[in-house]
Structure 1
Amino acid sequence: MSAPLPDVPVSSDQGLLDALAADLADARFYFDDVTALLGAEAHAALGRDQTVPARIVLASGPAAGAGARERALAVVVELFLIAGTVPARTLDGALPRTGAAGLVALGLAEPHGAGLRSRVDLRPHASDADAEIWVAADLGSNQRPGVLRTDHVLGIGQASLTLAQTTVRTPAARALDLGTGCGIQTFHLLAHAEHVVATDISERALAFTRFNLLLNHAALGIDPDDLSARVDLRLGSLLEPVATETFDLIVSNPPFVITPRTPGEADGERYTYRDGGLPGDSLVAHLVSGLPGLLTPGGTAQMLANWEVAAGAGHWSERPSAWLETGAAAETGAEAWFIQRDTESPLQYAEIWLRDAAEARDPEHYRRRYADYLADFASRDVEQIGFGMVWLRRPAAHDGAARGSASVRRPVGRRFEEIEHPIEQPVGPHLGAAVAAADELAAAAAVPAPGGDTAAADAALERLHVVVAEDVTEERHQRPGAEHPGVILLRQGAGLRRTSLLSTAEAGLVSACDGELSVGQIAGAVSALLGDEDPELKPTLLAGVRRLILEGFLTQTVQRR
């Protein structure tokens, strides 16, 4: 990382980096202050790479009575977020420690016209340590016209924010950020991981990450003279840089975009920030099957991914489920939780990613690449492409058991859900609570072990005391004049915001879950009240309770034997 690279910020002058950090702090180049300057709508548009609303606000000039700090902030926003041209003297006034010369020396700005323009996108971001930091990345296509370079370094995008909000933040000794890009996931990991290894196939990406770490070393708790004590930056593809190591937590926003391969294509022709160079969704398959082998017993991995759904498939989970039966995922008996958040047709998918790289600027190139996408998906009979969140865990109990062994305990199991409605963000705490609930049920022997005794698990469940979660409400719907409701729904107001359809018996059981009586006592009372002698009613009620606990509608209180 010591050799200079073209078109990346310079991180070899720590004194100048500290001067810039002090200038940005004095200008209040922070999320809330930028929002106050531009207005919520114009600031939100910047997050969608739309600069026109912000340009209009800035063109109107400072508000009446604006002080020196507000004027300095407007200059910084003009330079870094709008990618406008700013006179050198104006920059000297707004960033007095750094000045125009310092910005050029750091590789952040270059002469243009009558002033300087930014060479990077630099914007504020909040880390998990409640610290304001600044993140540098390549300029987007709306900031600088033209097709994106193939080794483009992506900044703060919706996908990276989604992964950060999805990650369960538990203390970790060692964490891995696989495919770090400009380093966003690493910044969040540093709040709860003692040491982070950040990898990427792109030298430019690692150079941006190094710059960002050293610019924000005070907020991130890093000694700039000993960066490797907290963060190790490694160049390499996928699992190669860490093939012999293990981690307590792995996060990855990998280059999962499914891209048509062309004969004789060179590595330099790929958009490395989004395309791993493998056909179809095989890159994701490789990670899902391989990541459990890099986890410590009990360690977890979280990632975003795409997967193909073939025409005639019985369920979208068929391919992801098959990945778990190969490689380290099978060897370790890995647990998995896939949540599909969206689906696109091949046509929609092609349009999204052609637009992402601004490839529509050349009409003939656009038509050719669009056809390539459709032919590629047709060659595998792909009907839909799914997008979602993936959680993996290497079981702690009986680790190293033989493939397929029934002794491997999987409290969470292998779950595949489709949740396309809006969910609470950050959702990481809810996912962590759901995993904890599954572990608690397993600890109480209230979930059947693989090949275990279902009756014993039901008996353990009957001894539990549960309450309805605070965010849960009930809805009843019935036809006018009807004696009883035809539909009873439980709804979550937080987390994944699920809705669960209940039978009359299940609704009666849930309404009595106040922690006083055990699950078995309530189930028995409901059966007696309904006068139902069906021998399957009680097992059905218990299965429903188990599901409602795992989904967060009910929470375990005290176990009484």
Structure 2
Amino acid sequence: MARDLAALDYTVDAVAELLGPEAHAALGRDQVVPALVATRVAGEDPVREPLGAVVRFFLLARPLAAAALDAILPSVRSEGLMALGLASSESRTAPHDAGTLAAAVDLRPYSWDARDGEREVWVASDLAAHQRQGVLRRDHVLGIGQASATLVQATARRPVDRALDLGTGCGIQALHLLEHARHVVATDISDRALAFARFNVLLNAEALRVDPDRPEDRIELRKGSLLDPVAGERFDLVVSNPPFVITPRTPSERAEDQFTYRDGGLPGDQLVSTLVGGLGEVLAEGGTAQMLGNWEIPAGQAWHERVRGWIPEGLDAWVLEREEVGPGQYAETWLADASQQRDPAAYEDAYAAYLADFAGRGTSAVGFGVLWLRRPAEGQGRLDRFEHLAHPLEQPIGPHWAAAVARADWLAQHPDLASERLLVAEDVTEERHQRPGAEHPGVILLRQGAGFRRTALLSTELAGFASACDGDLTAGQIVSALAALLDRDDPAFRVGLLAEARSLVEEGFLGPADGRGSAADRKSGSVRDAVSVNREETA
């Protein structure tokens, strides 16, 4: 199968080129008609038709004649597709045509930037709502959705010995972990999910440097709930896109009534809180965990107060809340996710059950975000940070998150910032705003163009400090020069300005010069030049 797909050049770039920008973007929104049109046009070109046919079959879920599949996939052929469970003889348009096959799965190319170049793989999962009729099957195995992409982008990648992918689904997180972990354990409660994950590892064994005869040397697949399959073990990195969706529970509910890819089977947000509370038992010293989650926000309580209560003693925590929605919008999102609106009567009952469930616990909103946890090693800082960031972040955010944690560790190791030389980060710009006709600006801002894309409001003194951070002078020398120029030579001024500077380092506007030496050849201005523009404003 892998040989046939490679021969077809079934890659992300080739598919994008075949479809064209508009149809490719529409397919990303689950709209298949523009892609159907594009593949029909491609079908008129004998060179492009094989790739167009594979796209129609696996991405657009349109049936193909067995003879056509035999021609474009000559090694695996239609018999092999059926043996692998990738195709079925049942066709939506021609159910009685024995010579026609329909895709039984979504099989798509996927790529990412690896350390040694771009990594190209193929990922199989169940057909999504736009590719099939009716409500999704309860053991549906999700493909590369928005949530899984969010976790991929948020994970701080680093070489590790052992990594855990908890709730692996189709295995997308595990595929990424194999890039930088010596050994990976992937768990799931669903047999079907583990089968997809195993298939995807074997299909991409060569690209992932996995021996197909001994895949267990690099990756183990284990069945079980939450941390049960790894009890007593320790990992350097844990990632999880768990079934965090909050869904109403009923007394008569059975496990087979739940959508296993998203429903945790526990009331409210108990699955996420339980998982977070147990992560301390599996993290090695210096080990980190990154996971997605939902949390209920009780009326009259801040979201971070509730989530902070989940963090085990001794673990660092940095939680980003990316979105908050009301109970109604939350219900609509997840009912549509499983195509439950296709059964109007069931949709009405389910929607009402969501509202009653949230009301029963006094839930006023639901938050969604990313959690970063660490068991700190000696010399590392302590983090207890909870923030709501709804604006767009640079993706992938993982490398920037890792850099932010490294800065926090650096600050912990350098409590006296006065003796350190600092530099303004390369992506930082300054903005000054003033009313028409005003002599001096009323607002001075620093903005990050990358990473978390934060904005900092500066006093004129802090703006002068930042302007002088070119690596030449220590922070203490800059503060002393500012104090002299602004006639503020009192201890409170010095302590306060160094504390504000420390915050700018923490947020990534400033960073340590890292021994790069003098920046005089890059920036010839002195401290006096940097602050003279602020002197009259301060006065």
1:95 and 2:73 matched:
yes
Letter in 2 for 1:415: R
Instruction: Pick one of 116, 139, 145 that aligns with 1:151.
Output: 139
CA RMSD of aligned residues (A): 1.5
* Aligned position for 1:215: 203
* Matched ranges for 1:250-289 at <5 A: 250-289=238-277
Deviations 1:342-387 (A, max 9, x none): 1111111000000000000111111111111111111121111111
1:122 and 2:101 matched:
no
Distance in 1 (alpha carbons) for counterparts of 2:183 and 2:441: 55
* Matched ranges for 1:53-452 at <5 A: 53-62=34-43, 66-68=45-47, 70-111=48-89, 112=91, 113=94, 114=97, 115-127=100-112, 129=114, 130-313=118-301, 315-324=302-311, 329-330=312-313, 333-397=314-378, 411-444=381-414, 446=415
Deviations 1:196-254 (A, max 9, x none): 00000000000000011101100000001101100000000001101110000000001
Letter in 1 for 2:55: V
Distance in 2 (alpha carbons) for counterparts of 1:439 and 1:307: 28
Deviations 1:103-155 (A, max 9, x none): 11211111232411100000011145422110000001110111001110000
Distance in 2 (alpha carbons) for counterparts of 1:159 and 1:167: 12
* Aligned position for 1:16: none
1:538 and 2:494 matched:
yes
Distance in 1 (alpha carbons) for counterparts of 2:262 and 2:496: 46
* Aligned position for 1:52: 33
Q: Which runs of 5+ in 1 are unaligned?
A: 1-19, 398-408, 447-459
Matched-pair contact (CA < 8 Å) for 2:376–2:382:
no
Letter in 1 for 2:305: E
Deviation of the 1:99 alpha carbon: 1.4
Distance in 1 (alpha carbons) for counterparts of 2:490 and 2:146: 51
Matched-pair contact (CA < 8 Å) for 2:321–2:370:
yes
> How many residue pairs align between the two structures?
506
SS of the equivalent of 2:130 reads: coil
SS of the equivalent of 2:309 reads: helix
Distance in 2 (alpha carbons) for counterparts of 1:306 and 1:165: 18
SS of the equivalent of 1:101 reads: helix
* Aligned position for 2:439: 483
Deviation of the 1:410 alpha carbon: 6.1
Matched-pair contact (CA < 8 Å) for 2:42–2:49:
no
Structure 1 residues 516-525 or 234-243, which shifts more? 516-525
Distance in 1 (alpha carbons) for counterparts of 2:227 and 2:14: 40
SS of the equivalent of 2:170 reads: coil
Distance in 2 (alpha carbons) for counterparts of 1:521 and 1:469: 20
For normalisation by structure 1, the TM-score amounts to 0.88
Distance in 1 (alpha carbons) for counterparts of 2:484 and 2:204: 64
Structure 1 residues 222-231 or 93-102, which shifts more? 93-102
Distance in 1 (alpha carbons) for counterparts of 2:129 and 2:297: 31
Deviation of the 1:48 alpha carbon: 3.1
For normalisation by structure 2, the TM-score amounts to 0.91
Letter in 1 for 2:105: V
SS of the equivalent of 2:266 reads: coil
Letter in 1 for 2:462: E
Distance 1:534 1:443, change over 3 A: closer
Letter in 2 for 1:411: G
Deviation of the 1:317 alpha carbon: 0.5
Matched-pair contact (CA < 8 Å) for 1:83–1:117:
yes
Distance in 1 (alpha carbons) for counterparts of 2:285 and 2:33: 50
Distance 1:263 1:219, change over 3 A: same
Distance in 2 (alpha carbons) for counterparts of 1:481 and 1:441: 42
Distance in 2 (alpha carbons) for counterparts of 1:310 and 1:534: 46
Letter in 2 for 1:320: V
Matched-pair contact (CA < 8 Å) for 1:437–1:555:
yes
Letter in 2 for 1:508: G
Matched-pair contact (CA < 8 Å) for 1:71–1:94:
no
Matched-pair contact (CA < 8 Å) for 1:128–1:191:
no
1:507 and 2:495 matched:
no
Matched-pair contact (CA < 8 Å) for 1:412–1:435:
no
SS of the equivalent of 2:195 reads: helix
Distance in 2 (alpha carbons) for counterparts of 1:365 and 1:384: 24
Distance in 2 (alpha carbons) for counterparts of 1:128 and 1:233: 25
Matched-pair contact (CA < 8 Å) for 2:421–2:512:
yes
* Matched ranges for 1:521-536 at <5 A: 521-533=477-489, 535-536=491-492
Distance in 2 (alpha carbons) for counterparts of 1:321 and 1:219: 40
Structure 1 residues 281-290 or 23-32, which shifts more? 281-290
SS of the equivalent of 1:80 reads: helix
Distance in 2 (alpha carbons) for counterparts of 1:225 and 1:74: 33
* Matched ranges for 1:14-25 at <5 A: 20-25=1-6
Distance in 1 (alpha carbons) for counterparts of 2:288 and 2:424: 28
Distance 1:180 1:90, change over 3 A: same
Matched-pair contact (CA < 8 Å) for 1:468–1:513:
yes
Distance in 2 (alpha carbons) for counterparts of 1:175 and 1:558: 31
Distance in 2 (alpha carbons) for counterparts of 1:522 and 1:157: 49
Letter in 2 for 1:201: I
* Aligned position for 1:552: 508
Distance in 2 (alpha carbons) for counterparts of 1:533 and 1:541: 12
Q: Which runs of 5+ in 2 are unaligned?
A: 518-539
Deviation of the 1:529 alpha carbon: 2.0
